[in-house]
Structure 1
Amino acid sequence: MGEIQELKLILREESSPFFTDEELSYYLEKNQGDINKTAYECLLLKAEDDSIALPGGLQLANKSTYWLRLAKQYKPNGSRIL
């Protein structure tokens, strides 16, 4: 499995498309090929407020909490070897 395909699985792109392959390639290169760092950054981007309020009182809920919960799995811990 290629890195882009792996990212698509992590980011749940099939059920909630957000990124193009070119965008995923960009973020992967930006994070020096680190899948976990790339997944973390992309999940944070997906977590932007996406709630919608329509006329008549219909509202679609914000799913940012879901994406932030997934992002926690890939958050770098910042530990370094000295």
Structure 2
Amino acid sequence: MKNPIQMIKQCFEKEEPYFVLRGQDLCALAAIEAYYEAVKTQVSDPYFIEEIEEIMKDFRAYREEVSKTKIPD
């Protein structure tokens, strides 16, 4: 997986918008699931698809471990 901090720095330097989701975010899992469905239909790189699937699994596991989610600060 790519280094998320490095990716954010690159976006910041290029003045490119970026979006961050946290495990505690009430809506994060639904957003990642929707993104994953779009990726499966529009991206041919199996490694990228697998990366997104792993991220989605991590968010699901976090949701199961921590029963309280919220709209983050």
Per the shorter chain, which TM-score range? 0.3 to 0.5
Larger helix share, 1 or 2: 2
Larger strand share, 1 or 2: 1
TM-score between the two structures when normalised by the length of structure 2? 0.33
Task: Flag the structure with more relative contact order, 1 or 2, with Cα contacts below 8 A and sequence separation at least 6.
Answer: 2
Larger Rg, first or second structure (1 or 2): 1
TM-score between the two structures when normalised by the length of structure 1? 0.31
